[in-house]
Chain A
């Protein structure tokens, strides 16, 4: 047995088989915790403050000019009550996308931490899972803060609505995270992120029903909006928060988000495996 220097115990830890997906992620806990400790301060503004600024500017100040009956606001009694669920779902998407674009590129290209990690018993699958788990944690913390802060303003029709909406925002965020992860693991240059942000994120953010009912788009664009995953997330979050749940529509929303998540997860893992094998 080769033993390097003496002092600490000579115990040798060996893996004789693949790690389970769970252990693969747990072993990276210390790494991600350290990453979080050094980045949480700078992420406070983007993850907590700016969503609330949106609520203030769009919901309260701009919303003050909007006087529509609940029938035209998908059942919301005010524009603020209409826009908050939309913004919560949209920020889940944005947080998820931010955590799976530059961080993935960095781990592959700039600080190459994926390559360093791959020299251990961890596999590409484990690296993807851990980064996605961290993304889930980030989405969960921003969504939770959002929902808790908005609760006293009377925008939720029931207490259980936002409680059920919370996992929906996680599902919405992760349905995007897996696909942006796959995209980031595929592209060679960070210049390609412009595509995601300009052609994906911003149009989705503006036209997927966060700010206005998509019935205002006209029949063709409304049909297009209904295909986007964000609309499914926004719609389900809003139905729950406003206590206007259409059971069959809710099932479709969940089904679409889960399908997008499961397929995307697989694509993300495969893409990273291929990239790291090169």
Chain B
């Protein structure tokens, strides 16, 4: 029976997922993670492609069986109560699964019917949601004619047709242009204000910083760190970063000459990152040592730096 005593919308203990790939080898996509998502928060999974985010999301969506460990969604076990859980979830998948041959309105209408919502009610909701995602004027247009951003917004509208308590968004803005991303983020903020719990996977650190109250950094199937964006940056990085670009091939050699200027130095293929509380001060000292970078930049630390610190790799290859 549903456990209504817990306030956790989603909780996982030692959650694992493995499957056989095409060659028959066993892939461990998720290697024992613990998470807890609370009511009304925006929770993020940040990590590069292949970190296990999508596998985790599919288990939370109650469509992919759990290999081991315990998972409760809205207090229920997905192995036992899949349909009951799914009737209360909204899912916005990474790839658009809209019906291209139907018009915009029919995509919502037909989807609402899967949830057993009465016809009149679905029609009202569909029109309402089209306004919400700013597609009211496209009501009778074929899905094929929509831009990428519009399709994603329509997918979000579709995922809201059953008035979900949790909305799962898998890479919601991948492939969208900056303007379309901001429109979409704005809609997601509004949903959060209305009390919908958001669970988001992303490999964009700016998206995670913008949207998430709390997030876990995932890498190779495990959780590398957990906290609010600010907590994570404070715990795993410095306040500022000085980025120094030198001629190609000079970065390793130069790194030794500046290694004492910050708490830590990262060598990337195209630049050096010097982590310090005061980036301008680092630049002054670099110049004082007679080094002349081609370009410099001082910025605040971001989740990208946290990820680099925790895994030694960048998020977006």
Contacts and interface: CB of A to CB of B under 8 A. Distances in A.
B43 interface: no
Chain A interface helix/strand/loop/mixed: loop
Nearest to B158: A116
Contacts of A19: 83
In the complex, which range does the number of interface residues on chain B fall in? Answer: 35 or more
B39 to A, nearest CB: 9
A246 interface: no
Interface string A1-22: 1111101111111111111000
B121 interface: yes
Given A14-B84, A120-B86, A2 B165 contact: yes
Given A2-B197, A34-B102, A118-B63, A15 B121 contact: no
Contact of A4 (B86, B99, B191, B197): B191
Contacts of A12: 162-163
A34 B124 contact: no
Contacts of A3: 163, 194-195
B267 to A, nearest CB: 40
Interface string A115-137: 11111111100000000000000
Contacts of B63: 118-119, 276-277
A122 B113 CA distance: 11
B132 interface: yes
Contacts of B117: 13
A245 B300 CA distance: 87
B19 A278 contact: yes
A2 B196 contact: yes
| Chain B CB within 10 Å, residue with most, of A11, A14, A17 | A14
Question: Which of B115, B117, B131 lies at the interface centre, i.e. has the most chain A CB atoms within 10 A of its CB?
Answer: B115
A119 B89 contact: yes
A19 B81 CA distance: 11
B110 interface: yes
B87 A2 contact: no
Contact of A2 (B84, B93, B114, B195): B195
Contacts of A8: 121, 124-125, 128
B106 interface: yes
A2 B110 contact: no
Contact of B196 (A4, A11, A23, A30): A4
A41 interface: no
A77 interface: no
Interface string A29-70: 111001000100000000000000000000000000000000
B275 to A, nearest CB: 40
A113 interface: yes
A111 interface: yes
A263 B64 CA distance: 25
B97 A112 contact: yes
Nearest to A38: B101
A21 B140 CA distance: 33
Interface of B: 2, 19, 61, 63-65, 81-84, 86-89, 91, 93, 95, 97-102, 106, 109-111, 113-118, 121, 124-125, 128-129, 131-132, 158-160, 162-165, 191, 194-197
- 9 closest residue pairs by CB, A with B: A8-B124, A116-B97, A120-B114, A119-B91, A121-B83, A15-B87, A112-B97, A2-B195, A2-B196
26 contacts: A2-B194, A2-B195, A4-B160, A4-B191, A4-B194, A5-B129, A5-B131, A8-B124, A13-B87, A13-B115, A13-B116, A13-B121, A15-B83, A15-B115, A17-B81, A18-B82, A18-B83, A19-B83, A29-B113, A38-B101, A116-B93, A120-B86, A120-B87, A120-B114, A276-B63, A277-B65
